[in-house]
């Protein structure tokens, strides 16, 4: 087999942050103190942190320069106009409303537009999107194609909406029951898998025919556009910017967490065409986030987002970005480690139940694997399985486990090198060779909601 090629970094390093390895003994003690929950470990004690790709990007020299030139005027700051122009250039909608992060955009949109009892379909809603719909007493519906839940299905666009299901869903209801349809690109909660332009066009046509607004959860629009360029024949000669522009041309608006594909550490926005809705959103924004030309952000943040939106569409950047994810995936697949495939845009997902077949679901193989990984190599991953997503059975109170028991390795943008990724893969290989030794965990403390953040465990 030919050696797996390391994607070359299309940047050189101008400023560094030291990371320090810890000893095996130190890590054992840290895990004990953290109740075997990686969320409880101080970041300083983590050697390579793959907890999330959200807000963890490295900014460029030009973004840092933007921080100094940011205009901090309360109203009508120069940085706002630069931000507005950068967003408009890609998304093309009439109104651009800054917010402090993605879920603030969601809250403002849904608290303005949703009524109790209404339903919002998506391919798969991200958890904050779902939560912001549910707090309104409305329902978040996932209509992704079934293959999204099959880790072995080989398809180029496993994030696609099931158009048949969408049509059937809409036909069965009054238009008033469905205030909007969303599409998440890439599909974060479904392996970071992309959605094809053909699928976006079809979903949009179904919504337009029914007179229902179509919105895009655009957090990873650039990664999705790059996959379209690579995998969808008709788009191989287009630029990523042209592809992104075409994606949004089929929509009525978008919500965005700038902590992803705007390459910054904080920020977000809503952008849309509807004048009267935009006015209501701005009124809501003024009460809860800030004046419409800053929306809870500093002028310098807007400056960094504008620059980041420019850089994220550079193809050398995107080739490295999705290349890093594919590289880590290939290193691990070559070692026989069971993975969700194909590699998505921002993370590698390990099938923890197949990796640790001796552990039943109630000993949380995903959580157990994150503990073993940290103990072995100081790498922090996150469980996406029974701890995070189990539902309580209404009668017995027992856990009903989600279909997939995953551990996610999310790759921060422009932060780690090929050598770091090799270290991660080596850690997994070592554990895989002695996998029968990995102990399960049981929960000794849990909060009533979102228990994964604060739960404490014991080894079994």
**Under the rule (CB under 6 A), what is the footprint of ligand PLP?**
54, 101-103, 126, 128-129, 184, 188, 217, 219, 257, 259-260, 268
User: Please, which residue, 305 or 333, has the CB nearer to ligand PLP?
Assistant: 305
CB-nearer residue toward ligand PLP: 121 or 268:
268
How far is residue 162's CA from residue 166's CA, in Å, rounded to a whole number?
6
Smallest gap from residue 186 Cβ to ligand PLP (A):
8
Considering the complex, what minimum distance in angstroms separates the CB of residue 193 from ligand PLP? 12
Q: How far is the CB of 232 from ligand PLP (least distance, A)?
A: 21
Shortest distance (Å) from residue 104 CB to ligand PLP: 7
Contact (Cβ atoms closer than 8 angstroms) between residue 185 and residue 221: yes
Query: 90 or 333, CB closer to ligand PLP?
Result: 90
The nearer residue to ligand PLP, 86 or 333, going by C-beta atoms, is 86
Nearest residue relative to ligand PLP (C-beta):
102
Q: C-beta of 82: minimal distance to ligand PLP in Å?
A: 21
- Tell me whether the omega of the peptide bond preceding residue 118 falls within 30 degrees of 0, making it cis: no
- Please identify, using beta-carbon distances, which residue of 259 and 408 lies nearer to ligand PLP: 259
Q: How far is the CB of 53 from ligand PLP (least distance, A)?
A: 8
Q: What is the 3-state secondary structure (H, E, C) of the chain?
A: CCCCCCCCCCCCCCCCCCCCCCCHHHHHHHHHHCCCCHHHCCHHHCCEECCCCCCCCCCCHHHHHHHHHCCCCCCCCHHHHHHHHHHHHHHCCCEEEEECCHHHHHHHHHHHHCCCCCEEEECCCCHHHHHHHHCCCCEEEECECHHHHCCCCCCCCCCCECHHHHHHHHHCCCHHHCCCEEEECCEHHHCCECCCHHHHHHHHHHHHHHCCCEEEECCCHHHHHHHHHHHCHHHCCCCHHHHHHHHHHCCCEEEEECCCCCCCCCCEEEEECCHHHHHHHHHHHHHHCCCCCCCCCCHHHHHHHHHHHHHCCCHHHHHHHHHHHHHHHHHHHHCCCCECCCCCCCEEEEEHHHHCCCCCHHHCHHHHHHHHHHHHHCEECEEECHHHHCEECCCCCCEECCCCCEEEEECCCCCCCHHHHHHHHHHHHHHHHCHHHCCCEEEEECCCCCHHHCCEEEEC
Minimum distance, C-beta of residue 123 to ligand PLP, in the bound complex (Å): 10
CB of residue 108 to ligand PLP, shortest distance in Å: 12
Separation between Cα atoms, residue 345 and residue 324, nearest integer Å: 9
Least distance in Å: CB of 182 to ligand PLP? 9
Q: How far is the CB of 379 from ligand PLP (least distance, A)?
A: 21
């Amino acid at each position: 087999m030919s050696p797996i090629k390391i994607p070359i970094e299309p940047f050189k390093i101008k400023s560094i942050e030291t990371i320090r390895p810890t000893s095996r003994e130190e890590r054992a003690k840290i895990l004990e103190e953290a109740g075997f929950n990686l969320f409880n470990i101080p970041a300083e004690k983590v050697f390579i942190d793959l907890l999330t790709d959200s807000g963890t990007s490295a900014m460029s020299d030009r973004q840092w320069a933007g921080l100094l030139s940011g205009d901090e005027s309360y109203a009508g700051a120069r940085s706002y106009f630069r931000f507005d122009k950068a967003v408009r250039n890609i998304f093309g909608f009439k109104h651009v409303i800054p917010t402090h992060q993605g879920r603030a955009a969601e809250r403002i949109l849904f608290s303005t537009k949703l009524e109790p009892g209404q339903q919002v379909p998506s391919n798969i809603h991200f958890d904050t999107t779902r939560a912001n719909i549910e707090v309104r007493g409305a329902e978040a519906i996932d209509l992704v194609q079934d293959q999204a839940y099959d880790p072995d299905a080989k398809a180029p666009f496993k994030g696609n909406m099931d158009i048949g299901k969408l049509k059937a869903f809409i036909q069965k209801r009054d238009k008033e029951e469905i205030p909007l349809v969303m599409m998440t690109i890439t599909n974060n909660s479904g392996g970071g898998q992309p959605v094809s332009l053909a699928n976006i066009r079809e979903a949009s046509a179904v919504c337009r025919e029914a007179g229902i607004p179509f919105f895009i959860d655009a957090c990873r629009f650039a990664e999705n556009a790059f996959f379209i360029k690579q995998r969808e024949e008709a788009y191989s000669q287009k630029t990523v910017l042209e592809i992104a522009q075409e994606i949004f041309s089929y929509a009525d608006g978008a919500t965005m967490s700038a902590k992803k594909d705007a390459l910054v550490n904080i920020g977000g926005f809503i952008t849309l065409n509807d004048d009267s809705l935009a006015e209501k959103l701005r009124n809501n924004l003024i009460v809860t986030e800030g004046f419409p030309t800053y929306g809870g952000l500093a002028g310098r943040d807007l400056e960094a987002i504008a620059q980041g939106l420019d850089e994220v569409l550079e193809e050398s950047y995107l080739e490295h970005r999705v290349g890093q994810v594919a590289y880590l995936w290939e290193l691990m697949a070559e070692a026989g480690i069971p993975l969700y495939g194909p590699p998505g845009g921002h993370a590698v997902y390990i099938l923890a139940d197949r990796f640790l077949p001796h552990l039943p679901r109630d000993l949380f193989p995903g959580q157990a694997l994150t503990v073993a990984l940290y103990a072995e190599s100081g790498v922090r991953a996150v469980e996406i399985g029974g701890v995070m997503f189990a539902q309580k059975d209404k009668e017995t109170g027992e856990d009903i486990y989600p279909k997939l028991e995953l551990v996610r390795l999310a790759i921060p943008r422009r932060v780690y090198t090929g050598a770091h990724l090799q270290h991660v893969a080596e850690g997994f290989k070592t554990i895989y060779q002695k996998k029968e030794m990995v102990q399960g965990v049981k929960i000794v403390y849990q909060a009533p909601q979102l228990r994964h953040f604060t739960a404490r465990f014991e080894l079994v």
